[in-house]
Structure 1
Amino acid sequence: MKYISIYAKKFRKSIKKLERSGAFDLKETEKVMQKLIDSQKLESKHRDHFLTGEYEGCKECHIKNDLLLIYETDKEKSLITFVNIGSHQELFG
């Protein structure tokens, strides 16, 4: 199954900030996101897991050491929502 992707406002704002900073190679981010859109299992190095608390129902994966992607899938509607992206500090305080 291939998901239809939705980009939350927080995600769009955060990805623009990352692009401007030049601190991360966003090609790896694009690869991981495409795997998620295509319903492919991520490699173990990405540490894909469910979240609790504020982001309950969402999943998080590590793109690089301290670059995390939060997303949520709806299999019934074939949707994936990219919720936010950033460092652990930026996302969780």
Structure 2
Amino acid sequence: MFQVDLFKEVLQTLLEEKPLAEKQRDHALMGNYTGFREYHILPDWLLIYQIDRGTLLLVTSRTGTHSDLFKK
């Protein structure tokens, strides 16, 4: 179930350029997602995002479970 309030809270934190909670394991991605970051909103609900500070644009790429996002 998509929890809109949690999603909005994370987006607001990113837009305000505040630090994200360490326990949600924000980290850089590699391979096809080089230049993007992954943040665990919940243990199996991920947000793949990119921030372009030059234009102050937040690009929210994808959200979903590990299997939704990374199945091959």
Q: TM-score scaled to structure 2, two decimals? A: 0.92
Q: Is 1:54 matched with 2:32?
A: yes
Distance of 1:68 and 1:36 partners within structure 2: 14
Aligned length: 71
Structure 1 gap segments, 5+ residues each: 1-22
Q: What SS does structure 1 have at the residue aligned with 2:18? A: coil
Q: Which runs of 5+ in 2 are unaligned?
A: none
Quote the residue 1:42 is aligned against: 20
The answer as to 2:55 corresponding to 1:77 is yes
Question: RMSD value over aligned CA atoms?
Answer: 0.8
State the match for 1:30 in structure 2: 8
1:88 aligns with 2:41: no
Alpha-carbon displacement from aligned partner over 1:16-43 (angstroms, at most 9, x marks no partner) = xxxxxxx132211110111001101001
| Percent identical residues | 38
Residue 43 of structure 2 is aligned to residue 65 of structure 1 = yes
Q: Given residue 76 of structure 1, which amino acid in structure 2 is its aligned partner? A: G
Moved over 6 A (4+): none
Please tell me the residue identity of whatever aligns with 1:24: F
Instruction: Provide the C-alpha distance between the structure 2 equivalents of 1:24 and 1:79, rounded to a whole number of angstroms.
Output: 24
Name which one, 1 or 2, has greater alpha-carbon Rg: 1
- Between 1 and 2, higher relative CO (CA 8 Å, sep ≥ 6) is seen in 1
